[in-house]
Amino acid sequence: IQNHQSKIENINNIFIPITNELPVVRNIDEIKENQQFYFKFILDSEKAIDSFLYYLLNSSLGRKIRNWWHDGFGVELDKECLLNCEIFIPSIEEQIKFIEIQSRINNLSMYLESFNYELWNLKNDYSIIEKSLENLSFKNSLESWIESQPYPLATILWTYYSLSNIDENIGEKLEHLLNFFEAFTEFLVTIMLSSFAKDLEFFVEECRNLKKPYEKYFQKPTFDTWINIAEWLSKSLRRLKNEKEKWGILVGLFGNPDEEFLEILMKKSLFKLLNSVRDYRNIWKGHTGIKPHPTILRKNLSLLEDSLTRLREDIGDSLSKFLIVKPINMKVTQGVYQIRVDKLIGTRFPFQEIEIETRSPMETEHLYLLHENYKPTIEMLPFIILKEDKTCYFFNRLEGENARYISYHYDQKPEIHLIKDIVEFSLNLLERNSI
Q: Are residues 200 and 286 in the same domain?
A: yes
8 A C-beta contact, residue 171 and residue 285: no
Q: Are residues 241 and 288 in the same domain?
A: yes
Q: Are residues 251 and 105 in the same domain?
A: yes
Cα separation, 280 vs 99, in Å, equals 17
Mean pLDDT of the chain: 85
Which among 89, 107, 124 is the end of a domain?
Answer: 89
| Whether the predicted pLDDT of 298 surpasses 60 | yes
Is position 433 within any domain? no
The tally of CA atoms less than 13 A away on the side-chain side of residue 228 is: 15
Going by C-alpha positions, the residue among 434, 414, 361, 5 that lies closest to residue 197 is 434
Is position 249 within any domain? yes
Is position 401 within any domain? yes
Which among 291, 317, 343 is the end of a domain?
Answer: 317
**What is the distance in angstroms between the CA of the first residue and the CA of the last residue of the chain?**
50
Mean pLDDT of 116-134: 72
Q: Are residues 10 and 77 in the same domain?
A: yes
Q: Are residues 187 and 206 in the same domain?
A: yes
Is position 71 within any domain? yes
Instruction: Kindly tell me the sign of the dihedral angle through the C-alpha atoms of 430, 363, 369, 304.
Output: negative
Going by C-alpha positions, the residue among 184, 138, 137, 143 that lies closest to residue 160 is 143
pLDDT digits (tens, 9 = 90+) for 313-327: 889 888 888 899 999
**Residue with the larger pLDDT of the pair 137 and 70:** 70
Cα separation, 208 vs 158, in Å, equals 36
Q: Are residues 36 and 126 in the same domain?
A: no
* Identity of the amino acid at 41: F
Which among 89, 106, 126 is the end of a domain?
Answer: 89
8 A C-beta contact, residue 392 and residue 151: yes
What was the pLDDT predicted at 328?
A: 94
Is position 260 within any domain? yes
Q: Are residues 130 and 10 in the same domain?
A: no
Q: Are residues 254 and 123 in the same domain?
A: yes
C-alpha torsion angle, residues 182, 184, 187, 191 (rounded to 10)? -130
Is position 220 within any domain? yes
Mean pLDDT of 363-390: 89
Q: Are residues 20 and 157 in the same domain?
A: no
Q: Are residues 11 and 80 in the same domain?
A: yes
Query: What residue numbers bound the domain in which 120 lies?
Result: 95-317
Is position 229 within any domain? yes
Q: Are residues 104 and 145 in the same domain?
A: yes
Residue 51's alpha-carbon distances to 65, 202, 248, 305, in angstroms, are 17, 43, 40, 11
Q: Are residues 338 and 252 in the same domain?
A: no
Cα separation, 29 vs 81, in Å, equals 25
**Residue with the larger pLDDT of the pair 271 and 412:** 271
Residue 292's alpha-carbon distances to 50, 172, 187, 300, in angstroms, are 20, 12, 31, 10
Global confidence as pTM = 0.77
Confidence bin at 286 (pLDDT 50/70/90): low
Domain count of the chain? 3
Is position 435 within any domain? no
